[in-house]
Amino acid sequence: MKTPLTAVAVSCTLKPSPTSSSSDLLATQLLDALADHGVTGDLVRAVDLSLRPGVEKDMGGDDEWPQIRRRVLDADILVFVTPTWMGQHSSVAQRVLERLDAELGETDARGRPTLFDKVAIAGIVGNEDGAHHIAAILFQSLNDVGFTIPAQGSVYWNGEAMHTTDYKDLDETPEKVESAIGTATRNAAHLARLLKGQEYPAG
Amino acid sequence: MKTPLTAVAVSCTLKPSPTSSSSDLLATQLLDALADHGVTGDLVRAVDLSLRPGVEKDMGGDDEWPQIRRRVLDADILVFVTPTWMGQHSSVAQRVLERLDAELGETDARGRPTLFDKVAIAGIVGNEDGAHHIAAILFQSLNDVGFTIPAQGSVYWNGEAMHTTDYKDLDETPEKVESAIGTATRNAAHLARLLKGQEYPAG
Amino acid sequence: MKTPLTAVAVSCTLKPSPTSSSSDLLATQLLDALADHGVTGDLVRAVDLSLRPGVEKDMGGDDEWPQIRRRVLDADILVFVTPTWMGQHSSVAQRVLERLDAELGETDARGRPTLFDKVAIAGIVGNEDGAHHIAAILFQSLNDVGFTIPAQGSVYWNGEAMHTTDYKDLDETPEKVESAIGTATRNAAHLARLLKGQEYPAG
Amino acid sequence: MKTPLTAVAVSCTLKPSPTSSSSDLLATQLLDALADHGVTGDLVRAVDLSLRPGVEKDMGGDDEWPQIRRRVLDADILVFVTPTWMGQHSSVAQRVLERLDAELGETDARGRPTLFDKVAIAGIVGNEDGAHHIAAILFQSLNDVGFTIPAQGSVYWNGEAMHTTDYKDLDETPEKVESAIGTATRNAAHLARLLKGQEYPAG
């Protein structure tokens, strides 16, 4: 019997609910695939919350980041999904990364960063070009704050150069995307389970 | 007598007014240097306005992007300044880029993109590492929507790896930064004047 | 009568001659389009020459960089074309950028960098995703050493995510690529002519 | 008693032996720190070998990539170190990444990519700015071909903006770099040991 694990998927679409979103779709597909590996989790659409600019864990006032923060801290796996605009991750995605930056100053009882032992995977959708660049930025930023990146931990889809089709409007999920979802989630679950069983040592 | 030019500097600090800001400082220095070349302009701190997520020129509701948009469209030179967080441009900077994306669909009476003939320069400040990467992203994004980039059109400062000093807290502006400010603004003014005199041809 | 201009296209394919190359194809298309604007030029395939690692203008021995360097210094417009591997510009492209780095230390009789007044445009081809990222890196690197980037100065093609078709194997050039070639070359010629007529001032 | 592990450090300096190299220094420091965790390994300076352009595992002729390839395949941990030129990883580093691209087509007896279960960490040195960008690119590229990235798996040093000091010429290793070396190597050894004990499952 495998150790149960939890995940949170943060979708960084620019579109508030209830508008349909390609990022939400990919995030949901990643959560569904994780479920096959004993991981339960759910989705938060970041743009629906008031995430104040800044790099503190709570910016006060109407800041709703602490809600997302709590869910990230409680989860074993972070599924970070962003759309592509002008070849870049969304401003909402960058806001989430900035807020995670505060975790660099946080440590657990053994003096280790609070995000150690957690695994992150990246999902990127776009009409066209940008995914490798964004995966790179997400991996660097999330790794800097303490996440571990499993082998082949990114999943992306975009269309041909300068095309305008949305991922959510495809007739079906392309086979290569299905395959990448399978690999990334299988590896994420395996790795998170290993790290939950044997945490990174303290320095 | 040189043709008078105008500039708008958009500072993308995460800190609302009236907190002091390194981005605002560099933006002001760039505007001051542009003034030596017959360019008048002023500064907008983007985080002080409500910039709705999305890629339309007006997202409706309390969206204050149209104010910045108008100033960008009225200016000959855009001075785009961002802080560095986790090696990236700020979420506020990405929001501004996303909103400029709408200009891709806008054309003037001659069928040319609305931002053609305008020149953009980049300013980047940070405690540490990230500036080349950010300059690259700013140049690509701003160029895609129609801005022209003058020779050596970026100015940056950051400290040694993993240091924490802010640009605004330096005893004085480093000589190499002064020199870069001189070059970028001199070239921006020259180029904007040329393009104002002889616009890009229509296709 | 327009001022005649010259261009050099540097193709950074990994494939030595005479193998056919998508980068060479796009470079040739860009040169052909420049010809419509009074620009004559030709193509160099960088991988056919021995470009020694290092950042001096001549690394000695069998170094053939000085041949390319001379052609770049003689041209008004640089057409820089690279394939995409793993979402990145090729090692050959990076080698060319590194060698151009030496120009940072070179100045003309008026004390200006040797590459000032020259215009650069970027061409990027790939089976899939990577072009915006590469355009960004090319613009930043080429701008740092002194090139000016005309409005909408990049042209790219890649296929849908994880597809494997080469640009050279398309039945015809996609309309959007044709259009981008037209815009980038028209703007490059206009800008190079302006700068040739009125050079950037000395500091 | 901990499982013995092996590492190979690939230094991507542009300088052939026996010239002293900051990349080699950091690579050596990383290997020394790994030794404290039961990892034995050694260093290869990629520029000393003839690495042909291309994306096959053996390009034939005088291609010496197969020597490095063998060492990477035999090691549990890859230490990938690059200098910074114009804010980018070196052309030698990009050549190594391109050659690793061939592994995407290689699988083991269980149908898994040949590089699964291996851990990679990144080392980046430079006079100035560029490290976050390069770490991002290395993580994305290495992760795509199958490496796993341990928490806080990058180590970098660069000086203040536009400064020219080399890492190898510092009086001593900065404390923050020492600390990062400790974290990255401790985490790499822990993770590689976990994955050696319990490999990623086949699909």
**Can you give the CATH number for the domain in which D130 is found?**
3.40.50.360
C-alpha separations of B9 from B12, B17, B111, B178, C140 in Å: 10, 15, 27, 18, 20
Q: What is the pLDDT of residue C105?
A: 86
Task: Give the list of residues 6+ apart from residue C172 with CB closer than 8 angstroms, or none.
Answer: none
User: Taking all residues of chain B, what is their mean pLDDT, rounded to a whole number?
Assistant: 97
Q: What is the pLDDT of residue D94?
A: 98
Task: Give the list of residues 6+ apart from residue B172 with CB closer than 8 angstroms, or none.
Answer: none
Pairing, β B39-45 against β C39-45: unpaired
Strand partners, A14: none
DSSP string, B142-200: HHHHT-BB-TT-EEEEE-STT----GGGSSS--HHHHHHHHHHHHHHHHHHHHHHHSPP
| DSSP 8-state assignment for residue C87 | T
- Residue C93 included in any domain: yes
- Residue A203 included in any domain: no
Q: What percent of chain C has pLDDT over 70?
A: 100
Question: What is the tens place of the pLDDT at every residue in D26-69?
Answer: 999 999 999 999 999 999 999 999 999 999 999 999 999 999 99
Chain B residues at the A interface, defined by Cβ less than 8 Å, are: 14-16, 47, 53-55, 85-92, 94-95, 97-98, 101, 137, 140-141, 144-145
Residue C74: exposure state from Cβ atoms within 10 A (0-12, 13-18, ≥19) = exposed
- Residue B202 included in any domain: no
| DSSP 8-state assignment for residue B112 | -
Q: Are A58 and A99 in contact (CB under 8 A)?
A: no
Chain B residues at the C interface, defined by Cβ less than 8 Å, are: 113, 115-117, 132, 135-137, 139-140, 143-144, 146-154, 179, 182-183, 186-187, 190-191, 194-195, 198, 200-201, 203
Q: What is the pLDDT of residue D98?
A: 98
Partner chains of B (3+ C-beta pairs under 8 Å): A, C, D
Which residue is associated with the tokens 């616009």?
Answer: B199
- Residue C116 included in any domain: yes
* pLDDT tier for residue B105 given thresholds of 50, 70 and 90: confident
What mean pLDDT do residues B43-70 have? 97
What mean pLDDT do residues D110-130 have? 96
Partner chains of C (3+ C-beta pairs under 8 Å): A, B, D
R_g of chain D, CA atoms, integer Å: 16
Question: What is the tens place of the pLDDT at every residue in C149-201?
Answer: 999 999 999 999 999 999 999 999 999 999 999 999 999 999 999 999 999 99
Q: What percent of chain D has pLDDT over 90?
A: 97
Q: What is the pLDDT of residue B113?
A: 93
Supply the pTM of this predicted model: 0.98
Q: What is the pLDDT of residue B203?
A: 85
Pairing, β B77-85 against β B119-126: parallel
Asked whether the beta carbons of residue A140 and residue D148 sit closer than 8 angstroms, the reply is: no
Separation of alpha carbons B113 and B107, rounded Å: 4
Q: What percent of chain D has pLDDT over 70?
A: 100
Task: Give the list of residues 6+ apart from residue C1 with CB closer than 8 angstroms, or none.
Answer: none
Q: Identify the H or E element spanning C3.
A: none
Which amino acid belongs to residue C89? H
Q: Are B88 and A97 in contact (CB under 8 A)?
A: yes
Question: What is the tens place of the pLDDT at every residue in B152-175?
Answer: 999 999 999 999 999 999 999 999
- Residue B132 included in any domain: yes
Residue C36: exposure state from Cβ atoms within 10 A (0-12, 13-18, ≥19) = exposed
Query: Domain count of chain A?
Result: 1
Q: What is the pLDDT of residue B2?
A: 86
Q: What percent of chain B has pLDDT over 90?
A: 97
Structure tokens at C71: 């052609």
Strand partners, B125: B83, B157
Which amino acid belongs to residue D195? L
* pLDDT tier for residue A2 given thresholds of 50, 70 and 90: confident
Instruction: End-to-end CA distance of chain B: give it in Å, rounded.
Output: 32
Whether the predicted pLDDT of B1 surpasses 80: no
Q: Which residue of A has its CA nearest to D185?
A: A203
Question: What is the tens place of the pLDDT at every residue in A97-146?
Answer: 999 999 988 999 999 999 999 999 999 999 999 999 999 999 999 999 99
Q: Identify the H or E element spanning C192.
A: helix C175-197
Residue ranges for chain C with pLDDT beneath 50: none
* pLDDT tier for residue D2 given thresholds of 50, 70 and 90: confident
Whether the predicted pLDDT of B144 surpasses 80: yes
* Other Cβ atoms within 10 Å of D62 Cβ, number: 8
Q: What is the pLDDT of residue A203?
A: 85
Asked whether the beta carbons of residue A203 and residue D182 sit closer than 8 angstroms, the reply is: yes
What mean pLDDT do residues D126-154 have? 98
Separation of alpha carbons A196 and B74, rounded Å: 57
Whether the predicted pLDDT of D203 surpasses 90: no
Residue B146: which domain range? 5-197
Q: What is the pLDDT of residue D105?
A: 86
Residue D180: exposure state from Cβ atoms within 10 A (0-12, 13-18, ≥19) = buried
Structure tokens at D38: 């039961």
Q: What percent of chain A has pLDDT over 70?
A: 100
Separation of alpha carbons B59 and B70, rounded Å: 15
- Residue B168 included in any domain: yes
User: Taking all residues of chain D, what is their mean pLDDT, rounded to a whole number?
Assistant: 97
Query: In this predicted model, which residue has the larger pLDDT, C104 or B22?
Result: B22
Structure tokens at C120: 């650069």
What mean pLDDT do residues B90-99 have? 98
Question: What is the tens place of the pLDDT at every residue in D90-99?
Answer: 999 999 999 9
- Residue B63 included in any domain: yes
Cα-Cα-Cα-Cα torsion C141, C147, C149, C155, nearest 10 degrees, comes to: -60
> Which residue among D86, D88, D129 sits closest to B129, beta carbon to beta carbon?
D129
What are phi and psi for residue A181, nearest 5 degrees?
Answer: -60, -45
- Residue C124 included in any domain: yes
